[in-house]
Amino acid sequence: MKDYKIAVIPGDGIGKEVIEAALIPIRAAASKHGAKLTETSFDWSCETYLKTGRMMPENGIDTLRDFDSILLGAVGWPKTVPDSVSLHGLLLPIRKQFDLYANIRPHRLLPGISGPLAKSDFDILCIRENTEGEYSGAGGRVHVGTPQEVAVETSIFTRHSVERILRFGFEQARLRRGKLASTTKSNAQKYTMVMWDEITEELAPAYPDVEVTRYHIDALSARMITHPETLDVVVASNLFGDILTDIGAAIQGGLGFAASANINPLGGVPSMFEPVHGSAPDIAGTGAANPIATVWSGAMMLDFLGEREASADLLAALSRITRRTLLLTPDCGGTSNTFSLAREIANAL
């Protein structure tokens, strides 16, 4: 029996609820196919910060290094800890320090789910650059609090990182329907985005089987809503990818559906799997959180670990349940709570 070491970081708010619930069908799918998940749970969160002054211990990254995968719920509890502290103390360093440069976010409708905006069926794979760009953290403020205050936040784009994320996008497009949308704002941003466009054009001849279209981020945002069926693989910078994938979530039925994988395609480090949504303070503790995004992220984790059948089986179970509206959580018109829906998914395996 294959035994995988999984680091589980439930985090804050509904992160704790969706992780505990989603692990029921994730474990069941693994064990049905002869795989064992040996979980170690870490209580790293805003609560931990309030007690210790740190979101994770000083050796947190090294602690995670030996795991096969990380499964994370959500980080952030702005009522007590500023987001700029909590996210830069836990989620963002994991992405950056393990160089998990590809953030993969699938957007498609599960059977029976009609996104509020969806006019047609679609299957989009968003690939978000996950280590630099607008999230580089370079900048500062001067004359704070005075009328002369200036704040600067510099986007840093390196040729190395832009090239590798675009290459990853081309390769994914090849495995799918052969279409790549490369996203920039090069009509307004003269340096970073012009370099991104140039690298897109330089790489294209090496992938003659992939049809590349360059879009401006504003136009692509509208297209994702009005004509999502025209898109296949979308590659975007860190911030643009963040925004596009909440749009992707919206068209696929809401944030309760959007899953993600943070990977380094070269391997050698643990990958991290997490729902796209956050800690949802407005519904935390009510049982209304939809666990599907986390279950789907778990299916992506099983696939990445090489447990393809367990992953496919879990997604199939999910698809059988989403046809039955009443079994779902209130965000998709159902009457279930987080745990009863998760148990139904496990029963459907």
Binding positions for Mn ion, rule: CB under 5 A: 242
| CA dist., res. 286 & res. 63, Å (int) | 33
Indicate if 218 belongs to the active site.
yes
Total residues at interface with ligand NAD (CB under 6 A):
23
Q: Is 185 a catalytic residue?
A: yes
Q: State the binding string over 6-35 for ligand NAD (x if CB under 6 A, else -).
A: --------x---x-----------------
- Helix, strand, coil share (%) of the chain residues, nearest 5: 45, 25, 35
Put the strands of the sheet holding 259-263 in their side by side order: 35-41, 2-11, 69-74, 271-275, 259-263, 102-108, 123-129, 233-236, 179-184, 211-216
Q: Contact with ligand NAD (CB under 6 A): which of 55, 166, 210, 255?
A: 255
The least CB distance from residue 235 to ligand IPM, in Å, is 16
CB 236 within 8 A of CB 193: no
Distance CA 173, CA 181 (A): 9
Among this protein's residues, is 246 annotated catalytic?
yes
- Residue 110 near ligand IPM by CB under 6 A: no
- Active-site hit among 5, 123, 185, 197: 185
Binding mask 39-78 for ligand NAD (x = CB under 6 A): -----------------------------------xxx-x
In the stretch 88-127, what mask flags binding to ligand NAD with x, by CB under 6 A? ---x------------------------------------
Q: Which of 89, 278, 298, 334 binds ligand NAD (CB under 6 A)?
A: 278
Q: What is the CA radius of gyration of the chain?
A: 20
E strand map for 232-339: 233-236, 259-263, 271-275
Angle at which helix 308-322 crosses helix 292-304, to 10 degrees, equals 160
In the set 101, 135, 207, 215, the catalytic residue is 135
Residues that bind ligand IPM (CB under 6 A): 76, 87, 91, 242, 276, 278
